Amino acid sequence: MQVARMKAERRTATGRNRNETLRAQGWMPAVVYGDGKEPLSIAISEWELEQHIRAHHRVFHIDVDGVAESAFLQEVAYKATTDRALHADFKRIDLNKPIDAEVEVAFAGHPVGLGKGGTLVKDHIKVMIRCLPTAIPDAIAHDISKLEIDDYLTAGQLVMPTGVTLVSAATMPVCHVAKLVVQEVAAPAAAEAAPAADKAGEKAGDKAAEKAGEKAGEKAGEKAAEKPAAKK
């Protein structure tokens, strides 16, 4: 991996307001830490960092007040609503000593299992490796065209470039082809039965009311017939 150069300025004032001022001027806050030294707060060009990220640069010589720091881009925090870079963390490194780094797996080919009703599931598309900072690959390519349904690609099956060793567990699944299951949605019998039951209940209630009315009428008529005629 190429060692890129980046200029930075020492950042003494911190806090939310100061960071907002930096961003308004096209700069962004960052920190360089590790190697038993005190963390160094710096300000870097937001535009320049974006260009380095696009070029997959992760190893840097950071020039701070004329002093170069060898560092690895450990993490970049982004604003969730705009994907704008908010802060960067750089870890001090020795270019002559191996470091651990996370690298993405680049899938090549079309799994044969996809044509048999399968779907590709990406379990862990990044693996941890160990190598010299200058030997970190941009990605680890692997042909997955032979994967059948229920076949797995594990981290141990990946072919590491020269000078690179795998740190992730060899059994860790990277991806697999799963059978696509289509489930039929059953008709809402219970929901349909409820209105039917309600209607049946309404009809039964109507009939019961009619019968009660009829009986009440009959009894009233009988009582009226039993009463003696009024004397004139």
Domain spans of the chain, in order of start: 3-95, 100-179, 185-222
Question: Band of the pLDDT at 203, cuts 50, 70, 90?
Answer: low
- What single-letter DSSP state applies at residue 115? G
Residue 171 DSSP SS3: coil
Beta bridge partners of 105: 140
**Confidence band, pLDDT 50/70/90 cuts, at residue 223:** low
CATH class for domain 100-179?
mainly beta
Please give the average per-residue pLDDT across 12-30, as a whole number. 77
Whole-structure pTM value: 0.69
Q: How far is it, in rounded angstroms, from Cα 32 to Cα 112?
A: 46
Q: What is the mean pLDDT of residues 214-221?
A: 54
Hey, what are 120's tokens? Answer: 């590709």
The maximal CA–CA distance of the chain, rounded, in angstroms, is 133
Q: What is the pLDDT of residue 191?
A: 54
Q: Which fold has domain 3-95?
A: Ribosomal Protein L25; Chain P (2.40.240)
Q: How far, in Å, CA of 159 to CA of 143, rounded?
A: 10
pLDDT attached to residue 206: 59
Contacts of 128 (CB under 8 A, 6+ apart): 100, 101, 102, 103, 166, 167, 168
| Structure confidence by residue, pLDDT tens digits, 43-83 | 999 999 999 999 989 999 999 988 889 999 999 999 888 88
SS3 content of the chain, % helix, strand, coil (to 5): 30, 40, 35
Q: Which amino acid is at 160?
A: M
Q: CB burial class (10 A; 0-12, 13-18, 19+) of residue 87?
A: middle
Query: Which residues, in sequence order, are CB contacts of 60 under 8 Å at separation 6+?
Result: 3, 4, 5, 6, 52, 70, 71, 72, 73, 90
What pLDDT score does 66 carry?
A: 85
Question: Which among 40, 44, 50 has a CA at the least distance from the CA of 23?
Answer: 44
Q: Which amino acid is at 200?
A: A
Residues 6+ positions from 55 with CB-CB distance below 8 Å = 4
What's phi and psi for 20, nearest 5 deg? -65, -35
Output the six-digit token pair for 54: 């696009």
